[in-house]
């Protein structure tokens, strides 16, 4: 229970930092590991070689996954550090045949999907109520037209310009005088200058550590969202 309490407290602190600044101090993760490690070491010494091997394999695999996801640009550095810290700060054990740190990441990633209906509703509101065209004047590939309304929002630039790179990422740029969209953050030198009343495509930068905290709480309760969703789909 001690390590669980420490993990929840520090994940909550990191989540607040992530929400405010989309940046988390390394000191949070260092303190989390330092406070948990004596209990982890005591447990491993008391329970022998099998538990030590299980702990090491789990920590190495989950940490490697976090680093790979970061290098692929799928998660931010603070998210990767949080996952690595969790892999070090949990006693050996599994929940639903998965290490708790891995199940935490899976539950957290699936929890982010709850944001999709909100994004879709906003884009429908912009199009149907405000009368703003979503793709008129853009040169985009068909698959982008399908995916974009699920992961990005059409929003007035003046509403987000002060929080670009903190809460939103511009994903459109001008190519040959015509607007186009790329479903990744556009570097500043490629972004055209926008007027405040102009509507642009921007991707919300979600505070993933908040979803990681949710995923951890679900995991210690033995909940596997992926398994539950699969069973739900198979039952229909």
**Contacts (Cβ under 8 Å, ≥6 apart) of 144:** 181, 183
Most confidently predicted of 37-46, 150-159, 221-230: 150-159
The CA-based angle 118-122-125, given to 5 degrees, is 140
* Residue 233 pLDDT: 67
Distances (CA, A) of 72 to 69, 123, 206, 215: 5, 28, 17, 22
| Mean pLDDT within 41-65 | 88
- What does the DSSP assignment read for 165-231? TTTEEE-EEEETTEEEE-SSPPPGGGSPP--TT-EEEEEE---HHHHHHHHHHHHHTT--HHHHHHH
Per-residue pLDDT of 206-217, as tens digits, reads 899 999 999 999
| CA pair distance 205, 53, nearest whole angstrom | 37
Residue 106 pLDDT greater than 80, yes or no: yes
Per-residue pLDDT of 117-164, as tens digits, reads 999 999 999 999 999 999 988 888 889 999 999 999 999 999 998 888
* Residue 125 pLDDT: 96
| Mean pLDDT within 167-172 | 88
Residue 94 pLDDT greater than 80, yes or no: no
| Mean pLDDT within 91-111 | 78
> Which comes out higher in pLDDT, residue 97 or 5?
5
- pLDDT band at residue 13 under the 50/70/90 scheme: very high
Per-residue pLDDT of 174-183, as tens digits, reads 877 788 888 8
> Which comes out higher in pLDDT, residue 184 or 6?
6
* Residue 116 pLDDT: 93
Would you mind telling me the total number of residues written for the chain in this entry? 236
Under a CB-based contact definition with an 8 Å cutoff, are residues 37 and 88 in contact?
Answer: yes
Distances (CA, A) of 71 to 8, 22, 148, 161: 26, 18, 23, 27
Residue 95 pLDDT greater than 60, yes or no: no
Handedness of CA 21, 27, 33, 35 (dihedral sign): negative
* Residue 200 pLDDT: 93
Nearest partner of 181 among 148, 206, 136, judged by Cα: 148
| Mean pLDDT within 182-188 | 76
Residue 99, SS3 per DSSP: strand
Handedness of CA 47, 51, 55, 56 (dihedral sign): positive
């Amino acid at each position: 229970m001690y390590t669980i309490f420490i993990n929840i407290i520090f994940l909550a602190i990191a989540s607040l930092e992530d929400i405010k600044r989309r940046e988390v101090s390394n000191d949070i993760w260092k303190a989390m590991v330092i406070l948990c490690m004596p209990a982890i070491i005591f447990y491993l010494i008391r329970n022998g070689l099998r538990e030590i091997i299980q702990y090491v394999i789990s920590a190495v695999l989950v940490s490697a996954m976090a680093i790979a996801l970061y290098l692929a640009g799928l998660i931010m550095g603070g998210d990767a550090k949080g996952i690595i810290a969790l892999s070090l700060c949990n006693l050996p054990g599994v929940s639903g045949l998965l290490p708790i740190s891995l199940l935490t990441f899976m539950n957290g990633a699936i929890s982010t999907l709850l944001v999709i209906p909100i994004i879709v509703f906003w884009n429908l509101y912009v199009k149907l109520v405000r009368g703003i065209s979503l793709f008129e004047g853009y040169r985009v590939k068909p698959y982008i037209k399908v995916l974009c309304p699920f992961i990005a929002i059409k929003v007035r630039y003046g509403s987000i310009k002060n929080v670009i790179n903190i809460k939103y990422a511009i994903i459109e740029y001008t190519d040959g005088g015509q607007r186009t969209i790329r479903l990744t953050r556009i570097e500043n030198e490629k972004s055209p200058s926008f007027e405040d009343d102009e509507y642009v495509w921007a991707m919300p930068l979600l505070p993933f550590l908040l979803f990681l905290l949710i995923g951890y709480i679900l995991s210690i309760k033995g909940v596997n969202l992926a398994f539950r969703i699969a069973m739900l789909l198979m039952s229909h």
